[in-house]
Amino acid sequence: MRNEKPARILVVDDDPTHFKVVLDNFQDDDFEIMYAPNGREGCNVAEKELPDLIIMDWEMPVMNGVEAITQLQSKSSTKDVPVVMATGVMTESKDLKEAMEIGAIDFIRKPFDKLELVARVKTSLRLSDSYQLIKKQNKDISSLMEQEMALKDRELLLETMHRLENSNFINRLGESLANIEKQCKDQNSVQDIIKLTKEINSHLRTESNWENFTIHFKKVHPNFFRNLMEKYPDITPNEQRLCAYVKIGLNNKEVAQLLGVTVGTTKTNLNRLKKRLSLQINESLRDFITTFSYANPVL
């Protein structure tokens, strides 16, 4: 995996002779070796150069190895750079445990044994390569999942809008039939119109049925309602419905049409929902609901 470019190793040690040992042991390999005399300088070099591996001395002036690793771990640019802790003093099992807990991936004792040094460095580099590959694969998978989720959201939105258009059309058709009924003189025709109007109203109720919507919604966002209820147990069914419509990107007018209320009423209900969710005045309800309920771990 290292055919593209030489591995870059940073040695952080207040004794330059240890740097020379590393340099001598890897002089026949295609490696680039860098040096820093203390933890602070090591962090600066690491942030600037982003080495493939750091061999970090434990005891150093200015900033020791533990403090340096802690600082490296705190920054997004260097937190994934693997560190091998090196020491001739802190060699007990508890020291090894401490080094691993703060973020070191391996531990090597000084004075360096050539075979052990080369083996541990190359193993750490392979582990780092594998981790970076897995991280990239997970990132690619995450990106594909996000694209698939966006597509499903789009399909759900289109389906909801189609149902809304159908409901509006059927509603207008029912109103037209009601007007015809008032003007019709033929009693038989009136009865036929009444029967047809009932069928239309029945179909309208089916088209706008909340249960039908939730079946499709849960296929796209299976954990949304569960997470919403866990975090906000007092949220009402109507507020859950509002959240779902906002989640798929419906605007106030569209939400109002689906709920059979005015746009003004919808705005009022959304303001109440914002208070229910304990959002601040400057926080966006739509942004909050759009990003709510995603907890997929990514390496």
Q: Which domain holds residue 73?
A: 7-112
pLDDT of residue 1: 46
Same domain, 88 and 157: no
Same domain, 152 and 106: no
Q: What is the pLDDT of residues 38-84, one digit of tens each?
A: 999 999 999 999 998 899 888 888 898 889 999 998 888 888 888 98
Average pLDDT, the chain: 77
Same domain, 263 and 154: yes
Same domain, 72 and 150: no
pLDDT of residue 40: 92
Give the total number of structural domains in the chain.
2
Q: Are 171 and 204 in contact (CB under 8 A)?
A: yes
Same domain, 173 and 244: yes
Same domain, 170 and 66: no
Residue type, 156: L
Sheet holding 83-87, edge to edge: 31-36, 7-12, 53-57, 83-87, 106-109
Beta bridge partners, 9, equal 33, 53
Residue 214 pLDDT class (50, 70, 90 cuts): confident
pLDDT of residue 147: 62
Residue 32 pLDDT class (50, 70, 90 cuts): confident
Same domain, 94 and 158: no
Residue 233 forms part of a structural domain:
yes
Residue 126 forms part of a structural domain:
no
Same domain, 171 and 229: yes
Domain CATH code at residue 13:
3.40.50.2300
Alpha-carbon distance 79 to 91, whole Å?
24
Q: Which residue has the higher pLDDT, 284 or 166?
A: 284
Residue 298 forms part of a structural domain:
no
Q: What is the pLDDT of residues 124-174, one digit of tens each?
A: 777 767 666 666 666 655 565 566 656 566 666 656 655 666 666 666 666
Of the residues 64, 97, 112, the one at which a domain ends: 112
Same domain, 176 and 276: yes
Judge whether residue 99 has pLDDT over 60: yes
Burial of 232 (0-12, 13-18, 19+ CB in 10 A): middle
pTM of the model: 0.45
Among 109-118, 220-229, 272-281, top mean pLDDT goes to 272-281
Same domain, 177 and 103: no
Same domain, 145 and 282: yes
Of the residues 94, 112, 130, the one at which a domain ends: 112
Residue 257 pLDDT class (50, 70, 90 cuts): confident
Same domain, 71 and 162: no
Residue 259 pLDDT class (50, 70, 90 cuts): confident
pLDDT of residue 253: 86
Q: Are 268 and 276 in contact (CB under 8 A)?
A: no
Residue 124 forms part of a structural domain:
no
